Amino acid sequence: MPSVQGATTSLSERYFALFVEDYAHQKVIGTLVQRVAAEYGIEVRLDWRSATGGHGKVIVELRNYIRDLKRQGTPWPDLIVVATDANCKGLNERSREIGDLDAPAPVLLAIPDPHVERWLLLDGAAFKAVFGRGCQAPDRKCSRERYKERLIKEIHAAGGTPILGGIEYAEDIVRQMNIDRATRADEALRRFVEALRNTLRGWQV
């Protein structure tokens, strides 16, 4: 996907650089960012700097990007969003691994715990709006494939066909999601949404 270059052109439009692990993160985090920004009447241009390769590649490309930003000077992005699964390490441990980035622009971390597919199962009403049948609220267990398998199972039960593991429906689910209800069910999602809202709110002052 081509990069977005140049500074923002108006107070209602902002430029975000995003670093995510994979296609699932791209669809979930991208749609969530757009939805929350719309709450504040802010249009967001998304520049996907990394969207494949997993956690290790995210960190390498993020640090290289920050180094290049410091060398080239402005224009800088209004916000850098970094999304990586906790993978059972927990929010705080994963945050410590990323460390102090010393970036020339604000950085927000989105760390689904343990995996981003869990976020798509938080709001049964949103799931029903997309598939005609709700899903059961997810449990919290540390298993690499648990929520991927659970998402596929719930879509099959609703009569859907998850060709790409269900992630092809991620944008539709997030658009229907009651964000406040979902954040009450997941600490990791709450942290990210609150941090994003606080940032957007500050731009309105």
pLDDT averaged over the chain? 90
Q: What is the pLDDT of residues 156-200, one digit of tens each?
A: 999 999 999 999 999 999 999 999 999 999 999 999 999 999 999
User: Which structure tokens are listed for 187?
Assistant: 């600490």
Task: Report the Cα 122 to chain-centroid distance in Å.
Answer: 15
User: Which structure tokens are listed for 101?
Assistant: 């980035």
d(CA 30, CA 114): 19
Domain limits, the chain: 13-203
**Does the pLDDT at position 145 exceed 60?**
yes
Q: What is the pLDDT of residues 26-70, one digit of tens each?
A: 999 999 999 999 999 999 999 999 888 888 899 999 999 999 999
Say what the pLDDT of residue 148 is.
93
Q: Which residues of 58-70 are buried (b: 16+ CB within 10 A; e: fewer)?
A: bbeebbebbeebe
Say what the pLDDT of residue 136 is.
84
**Does the pLDDT at position 19 exceed 70?**
yes
Of 149 and 74, the one with more pLDDT: 149
Predicted TM-score of the model (pTM) = 0.90
Q: Pick the range with the lowest mean pLDDT from 7-11, 100-104, 194-198.
A: 7-11
- Least Cα distance to 13 among 35, 48, 40 occurs for 40
**Does the pLDDT at position 127 exceed 90?**
yes
**Residue 172 DSSP SS3:** helix
**Does the pLDDT at position 9 exceed 70?**
no
d(CA 14, CA 117): 27
Say what the pLDDT of residue 11 is.
52
User: Which structure tokens are listed for 89?
Assistant: 């390490």
- CA geometry: angle 130, 191, 164, nearest 5 deg: 35
